[in-house]
Structure 1
Amino acid sequence: MSGSEARKRRADAQRSAESVVGAAIQVLNRDPDASMGAIAAAAGVTRQTVYAHFSSREKLLRAVVDHLTAETVAEIDAEDIDTGPAMDALFRLLDASERTVGRYPVLFQSGDAAATTQSADDQRHDPVADRLSRIFRRGQQSGEFDAHISVTWLVAATIKLSHTASEETDAGRLSEHEADAALRTSLRRILTPD
């Protein structure tokens, strides 16, 4: 097999794997318990093809989570979070994240999207945490944010508070508007110097 044939095969395999992940996102967003066969049918491939790319459901779910993370990061990066007041940048980041979650509500609400180890979950948050860190450092340097609280703590608190807002909405205890308002108020109180 020539080099160009090998490259074509790899490119075809990559497109096939991407098609499976795309189909999995759509199918699992409608039915988080959908079978690998249903995902294969939606992708227009056989179950064997799905298993050739992803040897287990867990590996396919990891690929789905990786795709959703990349989509979230792209949405955040489109917001130009390195400009303007740091608080505004933080809220633009949160809005961008929420747009991705809003496109896949069932998938994010189900446990499947987060069916990873704690270490994998931390890695999934790394790109967002890096962007949050930039915002917090900038806000502390400008005096907009309290410089006495570590950036690491602020990142962890923001991620946890964001998850709590989503959980309260999912449980029906708060409307989306109420949860968003509570999140923003909480963050302002944590970040603003006394």
Structure 2
Amino acid sequence: MADSHDTPSPPRRRRSDARRSIDAILNATRIVLSQRPDANMEDIAAAAGVTRQTVYAHFPSRDALVAALVEVAAAEYTALLDDADLDTAPPVVALTRFLGAGWRFLDRYPLVQNAAAAGIPRPENDPHDVVPPRLERLIRRGQRAGDFDASVPAGWLTAAVFGLQHTAAAQIGNGSLTAQEAEDLCLEGTLRLCGAVVRPAG
């Protein structure tokens, strides 16, 4: 009769253990690269509480690990925007939620502000490709509803809103503004830029 201690772990448990390791490694990568863009696999393994061999068992190279993190980040950003109901909420509310989603994303993934230094590649479903059209669609909807200034092209407003947010994020990075100051100023500037009409409730 086989010793019960020699019984292999069920496949489901092994998959669960592997998933936990992968999640821990990706989370450590997110944190470590935000602080030290040049961190290596050994640094990441130490932060994740696993061996370097474990990291390599799931990700054959640093590039593969970073690429996996980028895909996770892109999916999270998309989910944040989906939850914001950009196509159904009142335009001013939707625009405020859009900016809020961006700030939550940047707070969780500050490394995207220093993407070149961290060697971060473009993901397959790059937010730079899918997010601007969503914002432009929102602005056009607001213009049709009379909530935004329709005399300014929606495409220009879209680019300008992203410019405001990038500038605000940069000022957080250099210490000119706190995160809350930057978020408040960016929202105020965006609403002014779009000529937003805030309608009374009720």
1:83 to 75, 84, 88: 88
Q: Distance in 2 between matches of 1:74 and 1:67?
A: 11
Determine if the alignment matches structure 1 residue 99 to structure 2 residue 104: yes
2:130 aligned with 1:127, yes or no? Answer: yes
Partners of 2:38 and 2:118 within 8 A in 1: no
Counterpart residue number, 2:143: 140
In structure 2, do the counterparts of structure 1 residues 120 and 113 end up closer, same or farther at CA, with 3 Å as the change threshold? farther
CA RMSD of aligned residues (A): 3.5
- Whose helix proportion is higher, 1 or 2? 1
Shift of 1:90: 0.7
| CA displacement at 1:17 relative to structure 2 | 5.2
Describe the shift of the 1:137–1:115 C-alpha distance in structure 2 as closer, same or farther (beyond 3 A).
farther
- CA shift for structure 1 position 67: 1.6
Q: Which moved more, 1:128-137 or 1:89-98?
A: 128-137
Per mean C-alpha deviation after superposition, the further-off stretch among 175-184 and 84-93 is: 175-184
Mapping 1:1-194, distance limit 5 Å:
20-43=25-48, 46-47=51-52, 50-51=55-56, 54-105=59-110, 107-111=111-115, 115-116=119-120, 123-192=126-195
Q: Percent of counterpart pairs with the same letter?
A: 45
Secondary structure at 1:102's aligned position in 2? Answer: helix
Supply the distance in 1 between the matched residues of 2:109 and 2:123 (Cα, whole angstroms): 20
Residue 135 of structure 1 aligns with an amino acid whose one-letter code is L
- Does the aligned pair in 1 maintain the 2:143–2:149 contact within 8 Å? yes
Structure 2 CA distance, aligned partners of 1:20 and 1:113?
20
SS in 2 for 1:172: coil
Gaps of 5+ in 2: 1-13, 197-202
Measure, in 2, the Cα distance between the counterparts of 1:157 and 1:11.
45
Q: Distance in 2 between matches of 1:23 and 1:36?
A: 10
Q: Normalising by the residue count of structure 2, what TM-score does the alignment of the two structures yield? A: 0.69
User: How many angstroms does 1:10 deviate by?
Assistant: 9.7
Structure 1 gap segments, 5+ residues each: 1-8
Letter in 1 for 2:142: G
Instruction: Answer with 1 or 2: which has the greater Rg.
Output: 2
Q: Decide whether the 8 Å contact of 2:37 with 2:118 is kept in 1.
A: no
